[in-house]
């Protein structure tokens, strides 16, 4: 079956329009990702209006290109101006910017491109080999298992939310309630619509995403001053030198990519944690951990391999279960719905052309990234010089256009603004927006599986603690919940050991 | 001093945001309370749990604020509001939406772009006009002509 999927994918992807979309998506993602404050979720959300009416394969390639490009793009500003494009590039600043200050910005950029591409290719391999078995396994899940998986996904995301876990759960709850606005499919009644026809179909996902990410971000960007820091100089020759240097650290690339792939497959963890865990692992397993932070190439290779390794594996739960693992995946899920695709366990059988295309396009966009990453060296410094004063109104115009174009309701523009204000206040008070997004996206699925579980059960609510499947899911969820605690403990033990050896 | 202290304690995001969310959840619960059992089961369950957690979080925020009010981010409504760029942008967003409804996407955007750039802090008039013009042309070519998407036409046009 895997070979069939790949051959279908190859024939679907390698047509001129799809290759062009892959190039455009990667290029736009790279540019948007390089702008501080414009991370992958916003980059993909801004392009959602473009994919209306597109062929599902074409639209998906565009979204994957943007996702992959923007995850890498954040490293440009991280290295050149010590400002990560998004949380997945925080660790890149630790050694990338010192390298730039030493006149080795090109080396850092070259290492960043090649590490990102290798990480992306490794995760693509995991995606190709693991998606079908996981989708087959998920077909065996009943409504109670799906309900528990959704609850645990929300719980895990809340566990790792900024602010606190309590605020994360509250954000998820608010997101679920917002997701339940509109018609209830089971009873045909309207909820929280107050008779307004615009609300009967519920709040539109694309409008909500643009409001929560783009409008909120603009309200924060306006408080930033225009770029005043001069980016470090880049020399093309040193970029290639940095790229070649990565091949002397292939074991580090492999380890970091494994970390990124594993964490990417878990809901809520994603790039933000992967780059830091990989950096910590590289430092603790290095013969010279004291050099980390002074500008060594391993300090760029590890986080950049890990953060791009998240992309492929994070698509597995999104496509196989219909459960997005984070904010960007929720946006991609929204995009797939616009394209008429319903992610879930049946997708592999119902649309093998799309699945095969995603497998091939994950490899394609990484190869495109390699070419564009090296080819656009001279443009990087220009990207970091874009002033927020020009960026804000441009993004605002795209947002308003995008909000209207989804359903051609003027009211959607109003909802987008209101939701943007809500998210702005929530972020100021340290409530997690990704938790709210996930709650919103999963609300109807959560309710449907909840109702179905109770309908088919003769045990009432006790169906949710049925042995063995549901208990096993709960135990896995608890283990994942405790994973950061374990990994922190292991790191502390290693640090104690190294400081003991040093003394 | 006492009045200022109470105002400071109320006017911070840690208190105002959960209170706003409490109001929203209560209204939601009231709205769904009389619906059939199937329609209200999930919203009520989620609503009550969220409400309880919000009350707990609000109490935690108030206690934290009483203990260490310096670290809590205040909503600054004192001071020179006229110079507050965030408020300016909020106003522009509302007016832009209204303008788009009345006059359509392109006329309102032609006005919004340079005004917003000026308000946010860009002062080079030629650069503002150039950037606005280039963006509008590229937008028209890619979004309208190439992708065939239809923007909002105005109610008055």
pLDDT band at A48 (very low <50, low <70, confident <90, very high): confident
**Nearest CB to B43: which of A180, A404, A429?**
A180
Residues B128-153 have pLDDT tens digits of 999 899 999 988 887 777 766 677 77
pLDDT band at A464 (very low <50, low <70, confident <90, very high): confident
Q: How far apart are CA B128 and CA A387, in angstroms?
A: 12
Helix (H, G, I), strand (E, B) or coil at A412: helix
- Residue showing tokens 């909120």: A216
**Nearest residue on chain A to B21, alpha-carbon basis:** A174
**Nearest CB to B120: which of A187, A191, A222?**
A222
**Nearest CB to A414: which of B57, B97, B122?**
B97
Chain B partners within 8 Å of A173 (Cβ): 25, 46-47, 49-50, 53
What does pLDDT average to over chain A?
A: 82
Helix (H, G, I), strand (E, B) or coil at A182: strand
For residue B26, the model assigns a pLDDT of 94
> Looking at the complex, does the CB of residue B120 fall below 8 Å from at least one CB of chain A?
yes
> Looking at the complex, does the CB of residue B24 fall below 8 Å from at least one CB of chain A?
yes
Q: How far apart are CA A149 and CA A442, in angstroms?
A: 11
pLDDT at position A49 over 90: no
pTM check: above 0.90: no
Are B114 and B132 in contact, with CB atoms under 8 Å apart? yes
**Nearest residue on chain B to A390, alpha-carbon basis:** B117
Instruction: Give the 3-state secondary structure of A248-265.
Output: HHHHHHHHHHHHHHHHHH
Instruction: Give one DSSP letter per residue of A190-244, joined into a string.
Output: EES-TT-HHHHT---HHHHHIIIIIIHHHHHHTTSPPP-SPPPP--HHHHHHHHH
Contact A450 B42 (CB under 8 A): yes
pLDDT band at B9 (very low <50, low <70, confident <90, very high): low
Residues B47-67 have pLDDT tens digits of 999 999 999 998 888 887 777
**Nearest CB to B43: which of A177, A186, A405?**
A177
> Looking at the complex, does the CB of residue B31 fall below 8 Å from at least one CB of chain A?
yes
- Among candidates A335, A369, A303, which has minimal Cα distance to A25? A369
**Nearest CB to B53: which of A170, A405, A451?**
A170
A493 burial type by CB count under 10 A (0-12 exposed, 13-18 middle, 19+ buried): exposed
**Minimum distance, in Å, between the CA of residue B4 and any CA atom of chain A:** 21
Q: How far apart are CA A277 and CA A154, in angstroms?
A: 22
> Looking at the complex, does the CB of residue B17 fall below 8 Å from at least one CB of chain A?
yes
> Looking at the complex, does the CB of residue B58 fall below 8 Å from at least one CB of chain A?
no
Distances (CA, A) of A316 to A159, A278, A333: 21, 21, 12
For strand A182-183 and strand A190-191, is the pairing parallel, antiparallel, or unpaired?
A: antiparallel
For residue B109, the model assigns a pLDDT of 93
**Minimum distance, in Å, between the CA of residue A452 and any CA atom of chain B:** 11
For residue B71, the model assigns a pLDDT of 55
Contact A177 B28 (CB under 8 A): yes
pLDDT band at A181 (very low <50, low <70, confident <90, very high): very high
Q: How far apart are CA A262 and CA B126, in angstroms?
A: 51
Of A84-93, A115-124, A434-443, A453-462, the least confident: A84-93
pLDDT at position A406 over 90: no
> Looking at the complex, does the CB of residue B143 fall below 8 Å from at least one CB of chain A?
yes
pLDDT at position B75 over 70: no
For residue A487, the model assigns a pLDDT of 62
Contact A192 B28 (CB under 8 A): yes
**Minimum distance, in Å, between the CA of residue A226 and any CA atom of chain B:** 9
Choose, out of A222, A427, A447, the residue to mutate when testing the contact with B (most B CBs < 10 Å). Answer: A222
What ipTM goes with this model?
Answer: 0.86
**Nearest CB to A218: which of B21, B89, B147?**
B89
Give me the total of CB pairs closer than 8 Å, taking one residue from chain A and one from chain B: 170
For residue A229, the model assigns a pLDDT of 45
Are A433 and A212 in contact, with CB atoms under 8 Å apart? yes
User: Which segments of A114-185 are extended strands (E)?
Assistant: 182-183
For residue A348, the model assigns a pLDDT of 78
**Minimum distance, in Å, between the CA of residue A144 and any CA atom of chain B:** 15
N residues, chain A: 503
pLDDT band at A73 (very low <50, low <70, confident <90, very high): confident
Longest dimension (CA), chain B: 63
pLDDT band at A58 (very low <50, low <70, confident <90, very high): very high
């Amino acid at each position: 079956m895997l070979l069939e999927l790949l051959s279908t994918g190859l024939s679907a992807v390698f047509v001129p329009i799809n290759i062009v979309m892959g190039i455009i998506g990667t290029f736009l993602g790279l540019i948007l990702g390089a702008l501080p404050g414009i991370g992958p979720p916003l980059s993909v959300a801004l392009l959602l209006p473009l994919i209306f009416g597109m062929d599902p394969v074409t639209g998906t390639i565009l979204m994957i290109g943007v996702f992959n490009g923007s995850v890498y793009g954040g490293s440009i500003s991280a290295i050149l101006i010590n400002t990560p494009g998004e949380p997945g590039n925080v660790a890149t600043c630790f050694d990338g910017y010192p390298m730039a200050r030493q006149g080795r910005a090109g080396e850092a950029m070259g290492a960043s491109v090649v590490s990102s591409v290798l990480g992306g290719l490794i995760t693509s391999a995991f995606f190709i080999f693991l998606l079908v078995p996981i989708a087959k396994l998920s077909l065996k899940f009943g409504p109670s298992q799906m309900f528990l998986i959704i609850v645990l996904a929300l719980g895990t995301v809340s566990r790792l939310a900024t602010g606190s876990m309590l605020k994360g759960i509250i954000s998820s709850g608010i997101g679920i309630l917002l997701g339940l606005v509109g018609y209830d499919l089971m009873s045909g009644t309207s909820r929280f619509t107050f008779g307004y026809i615009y609300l009967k179909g519920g709040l539109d996902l694309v409008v909500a995403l643009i409001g929560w990410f783009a409008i909120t971000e603009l309200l924060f960007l306006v408080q930033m001053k225009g770029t005043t820091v001069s980016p470090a100089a880049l020399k093309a020759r040193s970029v290639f030198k940095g790229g070649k240097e990565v091949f002397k650290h292939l074991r580090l690339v492999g380890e970091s990519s494994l970390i990124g792939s594993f964490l990417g497959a878990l809901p809520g963890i994603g790039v933000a944690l992967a780059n830091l865990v990989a950096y910590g692992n590289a430092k603790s397993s290095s013969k010279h951990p004291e050099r980390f932070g002074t500008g060594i190439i391993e300090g760029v290779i590890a986080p950049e391999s890990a953060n791009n390794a998240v992309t492929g594996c994070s698509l597995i739960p999104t496509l196989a279960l219909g459960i997005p693992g984070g904010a960007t995946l929720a946006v991609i899920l929204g995009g797939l719905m616009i394209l008429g695709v319903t992610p879930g366990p049946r997708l592999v059988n119902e649309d093998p052309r799309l699945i095969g295309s995603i497998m091939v396009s994950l490899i394609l966009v990484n190869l495109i990234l390699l070419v564009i990453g090296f080819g656009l060296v001279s443009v990087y410094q220009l990207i970091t010089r874009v002033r927020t004063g020009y960026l804000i109104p441009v993004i605002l115009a795209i947002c308003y256009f995008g909000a209207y174009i989804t359903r051609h309701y003027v009211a959607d523009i109003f909802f987008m603004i209101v939701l943007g204000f809500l998210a702005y206040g929530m972020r100021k008070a340290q409530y997690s927006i990704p938790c709210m997004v996930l709650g919103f996206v999963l609300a109807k699925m959560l309710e449907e599986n909840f109702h179905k579980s109770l309908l088919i059960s003769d045990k009432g609510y006790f169906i949710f603690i049925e042995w063995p499947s549901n208990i096993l899911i709960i135990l896995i969820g608890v283990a994942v919940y405790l994973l950061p605690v374990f990994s922190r403990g292991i790191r502390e033990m290693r640090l104690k050991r190294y400081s003991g050896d040093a003394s | 001093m006492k009045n200022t202290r109470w105002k400071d304690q109320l006017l911070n995001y840690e208190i105002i945001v959960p209170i706003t969310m409490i109001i929203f959840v209560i209204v939601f619960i009231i709205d769904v309370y009389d619906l059939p059992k199937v329609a209200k089961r999930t919203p009520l369950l989620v609503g009550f749990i969220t409400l309880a957690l919000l009350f707990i979080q609000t109490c935690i925020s108030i206690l934290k604020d009483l203990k260490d009010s310096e670290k809590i981010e205040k909503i600054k409504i004192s001071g020179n509001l006229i110079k507050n760029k965030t408020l300016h942008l909020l106003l522009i967003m509302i007016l832009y939406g209204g303008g788009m409804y009345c006059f359509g996407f392109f006329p309102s955007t032609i006005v919004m772009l340079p005004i917003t750039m000026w308000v946010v802090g860009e002062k080079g008039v030629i650069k503002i006009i150039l950037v606005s013009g280039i963006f509008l042309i590229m937008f028209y070519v890619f979004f309208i002509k190439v992708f065939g998407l239809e923007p909002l036409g105005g109610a008055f046009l």
